[in-house]
Structure 1
Amino acid sequence: MSENTKGAAFMVLSMSAFTLNDACLKGLAGEVPLFQALFLRSIGTVAMLGVMCLAMGHFKKAGSAQDWKLIRWRMLGELGAAYCFVQALYNMPIANVSAILQSLPLTVTLAGTVFLGEVVGWRRLLAIGIGFAGVMLIVRPGTDGFSSYSIYALGAVAFVTLRDIMARKIGKDIPSVLIAFVTSAGVLAFAGLGTFTENWAVIKPASWTMLAGSATFILGGYVFSIAAMRHGEISFVAPFRYVSLLVALILGAVFFREIPDALMMIGAGIVVATGLFTLYREHRT
């Protein structure tokens, strides 16, 4: 397989795993408090990743001081993204949250200009502007359809952008599984502290199943997302993020009876179209 094909395959697996994790977490809404859900899920994720790192000898990989600085920044992005995203997911339709996150190729392009010195022409800047207008159709500030939890979804976009930019800069000699372990350990510690602000709920058998599924899927999402950002050209790999919107639409309709309205679908279409155009222009450039 070529590097581009590997990156695309990892991105499809990553987005599918993350969206299945989202569905499991959304199934816990109203049953398990946010930090408790994140904490219990992270225990399973850290345990599985720890076993993988031990089995493959990844804990012996030292890495440079610069790489570990980037990993800490990536962890910060993951912490913020986890909190903001779950807040939005608990209180919004899964397809709406996923549609807002489809603006990530646009934000990553802007971040690449600022942090990686990439050049962005006027066509891509125009497309980015139109794409953000599409996001506003989904968020709808100042209207009856506006949800304050949309702000959390936008915050998740910002934090995921930070996470992905940092992943691009980390040296390839540090295994993806080790980075995922460190990141998930950070989320575990963060969620553990957060549980002191909540009253713990009694976990029902069905909720344990959701938590186990979430831990398994987020494990795949972590590992595959890091691998996707480290293989192939970003302009080729990034469009495969949009698989998550398709999966979210299906899961939302089948399991949560959430049918998106016309404005949300139009906004999502604009975001996807401008994102694809932006990535196409990056590839041409």
Structure 2
Amino acid sequence: MRRGGYLRSPVLSAIAVPERFMGIALISFAFFSFSGLDATAKYLGQTLPAEQIVWMRFLTHVVFAVLLFRVWRIPGALRSDRWPLQILRSMFLLGSTVFNFFAVRHLQLAETVSIMFAAPFVVTALAGPLLNEWAGFRRWMAIIVGFIGVLVVTRPGLGGLNWAALLSVCSMTCYALYALTTRMLAHSESPVGMLIISAVVATLAITPFGLAAWTAPGDLWTWTLLLSTGAWGCIGHFALIRAHVLAPAPVLAPFMYIQILWMSGLGYLVFDDVPGPFTVLGAAIVVSSGLYILYRERKISRGEVHADGGL
């Protein structure tokens, strides 16, 4: 008998633990897929326009998603009562992708992901006025420290900040707004519907620019990589959705930071990029601040501390 007055079921425990491990494995794979998408975009950016890569990324995403989820078998899969917010969310995702694909042409993958890790800080800061989820003093301190980490990576005023770094910051900001609008829709819209609607809206919006910039790929390898962009994105989002079905969000959240390993590894293997000391230091600051915010939110959700009290 546990202190709470109920018996612990060994059967339920045996089921829950493997599901959590599977959730962790899936979210790790999801962020590997997103890293593969960025690495592919960076590689293709050496010979193809970014607008074309973005267009194919979303167009092929739609095709893969429709086939993967068998949308024709899901009644009302694409039905929504909140189309203005759906479209706004989709445009934030498109903006994040466009800014990111331009940025990765000139920055190391480790640099872009270090800046992208600041998105949870923007979400936490804006969740107060937009969602009435106000951050306490300690989380605000973590947000400030996290942004200091971003400044260490970008190094404004020290010869490190350039227009590519600013594009990466814009990508991060758009992604944070995309995450916020996702939270606004999460309780009323289906995950599959949001996944496909965002890709369809983004495809329609970027199509004129993708066609205008179209450059025929020179060989089969380039065609394969171009078509794979949608697969990376779709499979990554599918793994992310499945991970959250199998394991609680507080368990999964810290594993988003495994992406720094995937991005650094792909950057070294594919582009021979070695992260510099400022990137490593800034990434460490950002990751530490992000983990502290996750720790605080977990304690608050459990009722262990008030939003403004405790460590």
- Fold in common (TM above 0.5): yes
Residues 1:138 and 2:153 aligned together? yes
- Residue type of the alignment partner of 2:171: A
Largest Rg, 1 or 2: 2
> Percentage identity across aligned positions?
24
Structure 2: gaps of 5 or more residues = 1-14, 301-311
The equivalences for 1:1-285 within 5 A come to 5=20, 8-54=24-70, 57-58=73-74, 60-61=76-77, 63-66=79-82, 68-171=83-186, 174-195=189-210, 197-198=212-213, 200-225=215-240, 234-285=249-300
Contact 2:147-2:286 within 8 A present in 1 as well: yes
State the shift of 1:62 in Å.
6.1
C-alpha distance in 2, partners of 1:10/1:72?
28
C-alpha distance in 1, partners of 2:298/2:233?
30
State the shift of 1:49 in Å.
1.6
Contact 2:151-2:282 within 8 A present in 1 as well: yes
Contact 2:58-2:200 within 8 A present in 1 as well: yes
Instruction: Report Cα offsets for 1:228-257 as digits up to 9, x if no partner.
Output: 678865544332211111100111111110
How many aligned positions are there? 284
Contact 2:78-2:193 within 8 A present in 1 as well: no
In structure 2, the CA distance between the partners of 1:161 and 1:79, relative to structure 1 (3 Å rule), is: same
Higher RCO (Cα < 8 Å, 6 or more apart): 1
Identify which range, 250-259 or 12-21, moves more after superposition. Answer: 12-21
Contact 2:31-2:256 within 8 A present in 1 as well: yes
State the shift of 1:167 in Å.
1.9
Superposition TM-score, scaled by structure 2 size: 0.82
Structure 1: gaps of 5 or more residues = none
- Residue type of the alignment partner of 2:167: Y
C-alpha distance in 1, partners of 2:107/2:66?
33
Contact 1:33-1:200 within 8 A present in 2 as well: yes
RMSD over equivalenced CA pairs, Å: 2.6
